[in-house]
Amino acid sequence: MLREEIIKYLNVLNEKLQQQNVKGEICLYGGAVMCLVFDARPSTKDVDAIFHPAEIIRQAAKEISNDYELVDDWLNDGVKGFLVDHPKKVFMNLSHLVVMVADSEYMLAMKSLSARIDGTDSKDVEFLIKKLDIKSAEEVFRIIDKYYPRRIIRPATQFFLEEIFDETHDNSRD
């Protein structure tokens, strides 16, 4: 799903809420934030979010998937099991839908913990490290520690983060 498509479907969601005279709230995560906010990549496979009122938005999203021939879970709340309290900012303030996004540091913490080393997560982590001007793996670990207990960092994640900085250091010698 391209950036423009995500925005289009969020506007359609707003229209559906308006038709029902319902005010909704949604907070985006994952690839949608990487596309919309950071312009880090052109697309994402789905829109990870939490939303309220959940049932009404879930039903509206299902209607949108039918109307526009999208996959059923184009908008999904599968991410909710991984969330902790964190800063959010308003990305879009529509008539019946407020769209918020997680901030850069929280996105880095989340993406680091969920990083599939061979996929887009690793590129997203590297992008966020550069955006936040982080110089060491220990800085990343301190950010993760703000939100999640250190014990849940998988060894593969720790090695991945340390390797990013080893490569950066080695590349600076060329």
- Compute the mean pLDDT over every residue in the chain, rounded to the nearest whole number: 91
**Mean pLDDT value of segment 27-52:** 95
Judged against a pLDDT cut of 90, whether residue 122 lies above it is answered with no
Q: What is the tens place of the pLDDT at every residue in 60-97?
A: 999 999 999 999 999 999 898 889 999 999 999 999 99
Alpha helices in the chain (DSSP H): 3-19, 30-36, 54-67, 104-114, 120-131, 137-147, 155-171
Q: In this structure, are residues 29 and 110 in contact, taking their beta carbons and an 8 Å threshold?
A: yes
pLDDT band at 174 (very low <50, low <70, confident <90, very high): very low
Peptide bond into 53 cis (omega under 30): yes
Q: Which pair of structure tokens corresponds to residue 32?
A: 């949608």
Q: Tell me the whole-structure pTM to 2 decimals.
A: 0.88
Q: What is the tens place of the pLDDT at every residue in 157-171?
A: 888 899 888 855 444
pLDDT band at 117 (very low <50, low <70, confident <90, very high): low
